[in-house]
Structure 1
Amino acid sequence: MVDKNEIIKKLSSGDMKLHEIEKFTSNVKESVDIRREYIETISAGSLDNVAHYSLDMEEAVKKNIENPVGTIQIPVGVAGPLKVQGEYAKGDFYVPLATSEGALVASVNRGCSLITQAGGVTTRIISDKMTRAPVIKAESVIKALEIKTWIEDNFHILKETAESTTSHGKLLKIDPILVVGSYLYPRFVYSTGDSMGMNMVTIATEKALDLLQKKTGAHVVALSGNVCVDKKPSALNMVEGRGKTMIAEIVIPAEMVKQKLKTTPQAVVEVNVAKNLVGSAIAGSMGFNAHYANMIGALFLATGQDEAHVVEGSMGITTAEEQNGDLYFAVTLPDVPLATFGGGTRLETARECLEIMDVYGAGKVQKFAEIVAATVLAGELSLLGALASGHLARAHKDLGRG
């Protein structure tokens, strides 16, 4: 083995790359420590806190991280109990939220309290899919349309080929197949079980494209042509859905709105229309809501989800109506990629947070999705109530949040 100081010297001179350290050390922890020490020598501060972790880094470097120097820590709070009346999630749950935004957990917790007092939130999964959409270059629009027709006529062959790469993924459809000039964008749509499924559908689609190229002579420019649409806000995903498409709803008696939120159903409805609907429309926003990203982001960080998909989870529509004097309140989330198996969920802290809700592992993703939708409703309801009553700034001030 090479001496630690010799490795740092080689890194400083450029004779060794960061990813090559493992070749000259006996274990991953030693590599992590040396890499971190090197970074400290070229930076203005120390990484004392980054150095402390309980994760099994030997396992993490296999699938979750490259060039590790340690871990970061984000406070995790719990909100609840949250009563959920779902198809898969039934009962009271405590929800872990990882955030450094003061007042967020308190706000969600207030929504949980109101929901539970009102008898619980109804949740349903409307659809479940993951997508990959390559971009194909044809010689002309005529040739592009010929390829489009071949895909439509031979879907069953492409399906069999794609599914040969996975025991869990199923190709549901290839739609839409968009033609722009001589470019072709077929959107492969899959079900992926308890895995979020991006890697799964990428590998499956690549296999199907190999067949497509052999049969039609199509030129694949890129495996992803951005019609997926992955990790970006998208009108297509708003309409078609991606990941889990979920709705959560509740009817709250007017007296509970008055007692818990210090406002009225009418005031909440007005704030929702003026802010979430009209305000979002005039801004050209695809998020017709107050702050879905707050709850989605905190849940994602706590449970090992792909944090880049927070942008997709931020889209959605909040509905508020007065029904016989009471408040009908609902959140619709068209695009929330989730997993309870694989990826970041295999990290020890993520697994523990998922286990708080009993949603870790195979067969649990639908239950998790319904809890996520209910949590978003809790946070959204609490914030709109605070805005309707004029308590938002006061809550932050009282909690010492600057």
Structure 2
Amino acid sequence: MIVPNHVLEMLQRVRELYFRQGREERMLPSDAALSRFRGAQSASAESIRGLWEALRGQGHAPSESEAVLADPETLATAECYSTNIENMIGTVKLPVGVVGPLRVRGLHADGDFHLPLATTEAALVASYARGAWAATRAGGISTAVLYEGVLRTPAFVFESLLDAGRFVEWAVSHVERLKAAAEATTSHGKLVSLEPVIDNNVVFLLCRYTTGEAAGQNMVTIATEALGKAAVAECPTKPLRWYVEGNFSGDKKATSLGTITGRGRKVSASVILPPEVVRSVLRTDIDAMLDYGRVAGLGALLSGQFGAQAHYANALAAFYIATGQDAACVAESAVGFTRMERREGGIFCSVTMPNILVGTVGGGTRLPSQRAALNLVGLEGPGSAAALAEVTAALCLCGEISIVAAMAAGHFASAHDKLARKR
């Protein structure tokens, strides 16, 4: 049969649903009257109560939902969320577990860390804690920030390829003027690289910034807007139109560019686990881990992964949410390469992650719970963001160690059954 059975079965299910009574009409556009929902740009107890009243007026406000989301503590501290959200109606509580002690011996991070993870996935914290204990028993994880720079890529559209070339010639000749325009918007950001890319009549400028102790997403956006405005105002060759981001930078996306050049901080972390630690902590052996690693590497290759790794996103999402990072950056941060090799002292395990976007100031890091979680990590002041990036990579390595060991030993399903179903 040319059309696979599963496709025919899916079409049959859709057809049955569509022709049920009223389904055809229900899927047509509707001009039924409705009242517009008025939001609130800043947050206060009064604005939260007002939004719940508006929701009740539209029939979408169960009293039990309001009581949980807009609890007394949230109402009392509502103003502190004003710079982080619009239309605020409350807060969501997530369980936070702790992993540690995790010993990190890095260029920036040095110490025994306890790391908070906000998650609803049972077995996750236990798995990372096991990996952390194995790495710490082995003397700790070595880490290094290898490269730094947050990309923003404005795009300029011209009438012709010739005009695009003239613009690029002007831009590279006036790069110091563009750098000054960008850096005038921030006391912390620095434009460290500007690379033009031409696609016929469209020019992308790959603008890479260092951002101090902040993750820097908003910082580089504002700086790049100033850079673009200066270029358009001063260059004799005018674009037809331009955009502050041309979707080239890899912002919150997994890309080949990010895999190669990195966005944020590129970090590598490694540890050698002795055979005794593999046996006593991970309950498996080195040969079994390497055997599974070869199969997992083949699976990554055949499925077309960006990089080759098991589950960076689990640690990143939980750690980012707990510490006030931009959780959407997990999409690009969860790109990288896990390696495991036999060495003289045991099994060498490493991760290299080119797109770790974290900060210790700005964004969600100033909120009460997130600031408390960051305080638990114990990183602040100059160099703290680089140290946090190294700790993040070390945490991801712990997860790779633990999951590979669980798969190799056949414990993966039973662990989830025990911790997720039978507690």
- CA distance in 2 between counterparts of 1:40 and 1:314 reads 40
Counterpart pick for 1:338 among 351, 358, 367: 358
Range 356-365 or range 234-243, more displaced: 356-365
Q: Contact 1:131/1:188 (CA < 8 Å) preserved in 2?
A: yes
- Does residue 237 (structure 1) correspond to residue 254 (structure 2)? The answer is no
Aligned amino acid, residue 106 of structure 1? A
Q: Contact 1:213/1:219 (CA < 8 Å) preserved in 2?
A: no
- CA distance in 2 between counterparts of 1:338 and 1:254 reads 34
- Does residue 283 (structure 1) correspond to residue 303 (structure 2)? The answer is yes
Structure 2 SS opposite 1:144: helix
Aligned amino acid, residue 360 of structure 2? T
Q: Contact 2:123/2:420 (CA < 8 Å) preserved in 1?
A: no
Structure 2 SS opposite 1:251: strand
Counterpart position of 1:221: 242
Q: Contact 2:131/2:401 (CA < 8 Å) preserved in 1?
A: yes
Q: 1:211 to 1:38 in 2, by over 3 A?
A: closer
Counterpart pick for 2:206 among 180, 187, 200: 187
Counterpart position of 2:15: none
Counterpart pick for 1:265 among 262, 283, 286: 286
- CA distance in 2 between counterparts of 1:159 and 1:346 reads 29
> For 1:121-270, what aligned pairs fall within 5 Å after superposition?
121-175=141-195, 177-214=196-233, 215=235, 216-270=237-291
Counterpart position of 1:43: 60
Deviation at 1:40, TM superposition (A): 4.5
Q: Deviations over 1:234-268 (max 9, x none)?
A: 01011010111111100111121122112222222
> For 1:306-321, what aligned pairs fall within 5 Å after superposition?
306-321=326-341
Q: 1:93 to 1:53 in 2, by over 3 A?
A: farther
Instruction: In structure 1, list runs of 5 or more residues that go unmatched.
Output: 1-11
- CA distance in 2 between counterparts of 1:331 and 1:64 reads 32
Q: 1:360 to 1:36 in 2, by over 3 A?
A: farther
Deviation at 1:34, TM superposition (A): 2.5
Range 143-152 or range 49-58, more displaced: 49-58
Q: Deviations over 1:163-204 (max 9, x none)?
A: 1111111100112x2211211111111101011111111111
- CA distance in 2 between counterparts of 1:89 and 1:213 reads 42
Paired-residue identity, %? 37
Aligned amino acid, residue 68 of structure 1? M
Range 200-209 or range 184-193, more displaced: 200-209
Range 31-40 or range 249-258, more displaced: 31-40
Counterpart position of 1:58: 79
- CA distance in 2 between counterparts of 1:59 and 1:399 reads 36
Instruction: In structure 2, list runs of 5 or more residues that go unmatched.
Output: 1-32
Q: 1:15 to 1:281 in 2, by over 3 A?
A: closer
Structure 2 SS opposite 1:109: helix
Range 322-331 or range 243-252, more displaced: 322-331
TM-score by length of 2: 0.86
Structure 2 SS opposite 1:201: helix
Whose radius of gyration is greater, 1 or 2? 2
Range 360-369 or range 118-127, more displaced: 360-369
Detail structure 1 runs of 4+ shifted over 6 Å in the superposition. Answer: none
- CA distance in 2 between counterparts of 1:366 and 1:66 reads 30
- Does residue 350 (structure 1) correspond to residue 370 (structure 2)? The answer is yes
- Count of aligned residue pairs for this structure pair: 383
Aligned amino acid, residue 226 of structure 2? K
Deviation at 1:361, TM superposition (A): 5.5
- Does residue 293 (structure 1) correspond to residue 313 (structure 2)? The answer is yes
Aligned amino acid, residue 36 of structure 1? W
Q: Deviations over 1:187-227 (max 9, x none)?
A: 11110101111111111111111121121313443111011
- CA distance in 2 between counterparts of 1:60 and 1:283 reads 41
Q: Contact 1:76/1:97 (CA < 8 Å) preserved in 2?
A: yes
TM-score by length of 1: 0.91
